Structure 1
Amino acid sequence: MHGLFRWSSKWWPGTILLVVFWAIAAWTSTAPMESDLAARSTSALKDTVLDKTRIEVSGRDVSFAADAFSEDGRRSAVAAVEATAGVRLVNDETRLVPEAKPFVWSAERDVARVTLAGSAPLPASKAGLLDAARAALGGVEVVDQMQLSRGAPPRFDNAAALLIDQIGKLKDGKIAISDGKVSLSGMARDLGGREAIAAALKNLPDGFSVAANDIKAPPYIFQAYKDPVAVTLTLTGYVPDNNVHAAIAAAAGRKFFSEKVVDNLKASIGAPAGFAGAVVPALGALSRLSTGTLVVTDREIKLSGDSLYDAAVPQIRAGLARDFPQGWHVAADISVKPAAAPVDPTVCQQLFSELLAKGQIRFVSGRATLDPDSAGLLDRLIETALRCPTAEIEIAGHTDADGDDAFNRALSEKRAQAVADYLVKAGLPANRFTATGYGSSQPVASNDTDEGKAQNRRIDFMVK
């Protein structure tokens, strides 16, 4: 008995050691096998489209979890794992990605960022939309709040990519898809942006349509600033096209006889109806101010500045109320420039001569009707006449040599009288002015050229 016990006690430690060796051998052979099965199962899924894929292997049994985007895709993925060599049993934990009803996707822009939200049908779609947004928006931050969902309408990716291109044209706003319906709201970044977006929407894929397009255009702004110190008229903002641009620039050159016109205008679509018909008379009102600013915003006109004399204020206001297209709104904030110091008749004559050397008083061809383009020059002449209150002034009319002498003399006198009447209307005493017509008898240039004839058709101021 004691011998048997002694033999058993010697055998037992050896058995334990064998068990340990067996366990180590089993573990070292099972771990590589499980790793290999996991790798082969994963490889079997390379051609499937899944999300949140997870594979765990225990021995030869595989636990397979994933989100699939269709029932066929889910079954195909499970079958691929089951068919993997060495796999004995697949614990199927796959499920379908939730279906979105309706399928909604959106891109929203604010001052700092663009947020993509709603649903995307596939991981590749989601990644593609993010890449497209970053490419279209430069350095603007793109925030991803998209969820993967089933139920996207056919050609969703094409529609969303087209709309991503439009978000770059917005200053702020939102573009959304709900099933096949597209809605847009917000403010375009640039003039013409609203029209460009509307044109692009015509290329939406079949099955998509615009349910609402509430994109607004930014204000259509035209500005003009008259600076008496720099002696400039600066034009900024927008005009409808090159023809209107040229017409406005030409009108400015006629109305502002001494100022240098600084033209910074740009052509852009989106101008309100009647734009040129409103801007041109508004420039005429600005020309009558000593200093002033004209702002045209859509169909609203704001004029501010200082007139050259008291009587000009109601005249300018009356002209603003009369000369604009229907539907336009005009606001005038006009004060009167402080009166300049009086001067003696010699200085007065010098000031008249300087003004008339810079610009000519114009009339309707063949008539004694004053051209409205001369209003700015006439107001400057009135301001000068107010500075020499005791001087008597001859207003002399002259013509070129074309036509009958008697007719020319009569026309020149009528034109001189029209100028005198304009000055009297401003509040100057009528007895200070004498209107005389000299016809073509006192030319200052040759009548053989059009340029010379233009110089001879003139009004002179002579201080007595």
Structure 2
Amino acid sequence: MRLSAIAILAATFTAAAALCAVAASISVRMVEQNSAAGVERRLEREGIDWAGVDANGLQVFVHGTAPDEAARFRAISAAGKVVDAARVIDETLVAEPEAVDPPHFSVEILRNDSTVSLIGLVPAEYDRARLIELAGNIVGDPDGVSDLLETARFPVPDGWGDAMQLATLALEELPRAKISAEAGQVAVQAMTDSAQARREVQADLEAAAPEGTRLALDLSAPRPVLSPFTLRFVKDDAGTRFDACSADTEEARAAILEAARAAGAAEGAGCVVGLGVPSRAWSDAAVAAIGAVDALGGGQATFSNADVSFIAPVGTPPARFDDVTADLEAALPDGFVLDAVLPEPPDPDADRGPVEFSATLSPEGRVQLRGRIDSEMARTTADSYARARFGSEAVSVGARIDDDLPDGWSARVLAALEALSMMANGAVTVTPESIAVRGDTGNPDASAEIAALLSEKLGTDDYDIEVAYLERLDPTLGIPTPAECVDQIRQIIGARKITFEPGSAVLDGSTRELLDEVADLLKVCGEIPLEIQGHTDSQGREVMNEQLSQERAQAVLDALRQRRVLTASYRAVGYGEAEPIADNDTEAGREANRRIEFRLDEAEDAGEDAAPGPEDVEYPVPTGDEAVTEAAASDAAATSAEEGPEDEQD
């Protein structure tokens, strides 16, 4: 009985413990569910859909991959608002950030004489301080540079360095400019002092533009003052053309050129826009005169300010001439004065002996004066004027005196000589009827300038101008021939040498200045057929020598390319030990044989029958130590390179 009571009591306690355990388990599960549900609802309300929630007892686990660190922090903070923050276990991850595209690097350089502003974004690795220093040196005042540049830590884009070098050159050449530079592209807007300065700057920048860098130029020049304001339109057997053309506005220029094209002039005719127009109706007068020439089927119209000369072709019917000139006179605006001439047909019975004065200027600069002149004083004056213009030793006079010449003959002769001085070579002929000017020039505006000169000196007298512009004569370009370029390279290098580190194709640092000078010349020479030859001595294996010579020639070519030389027409060739110029048995001879030569590429040069230039001459190579010294000094009309004491040996 007693045992039964104890058993009952134990069973009662056991049952109570079991009930407590079940109740505790249910309570914990309810806490877990409520905590997880509460946190989930909170995350949902805050729009955090990437996070999941689990609970284990009193601990709440937040898991998932956050798009960034800020999103992860928001999720953990939101969970801590529902349950005690100490119960929140952070099991979230942060996604790897996506690659950020590099920004657009660009620099805008604004220069106004002695002040420069630098604006833009540049790579952090770019030497920004060097750019600021260069700008200060260019304007002559470091304090004149305003640095408004920002930097970003991204790789330097391809073509950035070349673009900045070209932009720096433009900054140096243009005192008033806006220069925009980015990788592979440079745009320049600037005002130059004159049309000639604009041509020179344009030629310099285009020659210096590296391969792969696009250059956009918008260069303007102040309009010149034209005195007299001249226009000369001719239609004859030689074609329809302007000998000179002036306009006061772009609209006037377009109207005049359109009238000329309608009369048969070729596309591309030029017309100078300038100041000094005698009337705002200039283009109306010019268009009317051009139309009159076209209506007669030939002739010429010449304007010198407001004076207009209209000369009909020989043989024009008088009635037709009267009708056209009457229409022209009615069409000319107020203030213009017309002088219309119908030339008399030549008399077949008249004396055909030439009444003329001529002067010729040879390409070598020799001047000869022939023909008739009206007095001894006039001949002396013409002789003195020619010697002053062309040099005392260059002039020979064979003119004879004729006192039966038209009035104003001496003035016409002097005007013709002045026109001759504006050409590189050519001839002028003065007759009672006209002045003819023929020749070649390196000035693209020479024809217009000669017409303006004759118009100023002689009014609207008849003159005929045929002057050809030849680029090779243009002093603003100064382009030497390929043979002259090779000869000038030899003169630049002289006794110096292009050197390499021993046994390698790595250029020695001492060669940098020499290659800079060669590069400056080659930029002027343009695309010439140049072969850069590498040569070695006979030490070592032949195959290795040939390979080394090829690598060295290529290293020189690459160095020139890095200096912004256009090298598309160049090639590098290694000849190894095959073409010695001295004895390989002596140290001096081996040193002379280790060399770089610049020669015209025979495969690309003009035909095989061309006369050899100094770069093509074969020189005999003496033997012995004295001969080696002589060969090294002459260098076989080429330039040399050495590596140092020895080439690479076996």
Same fold (TM over 0.5): no
TM-score by length of 1: 0.29
TM-score by length of 2: 0.22
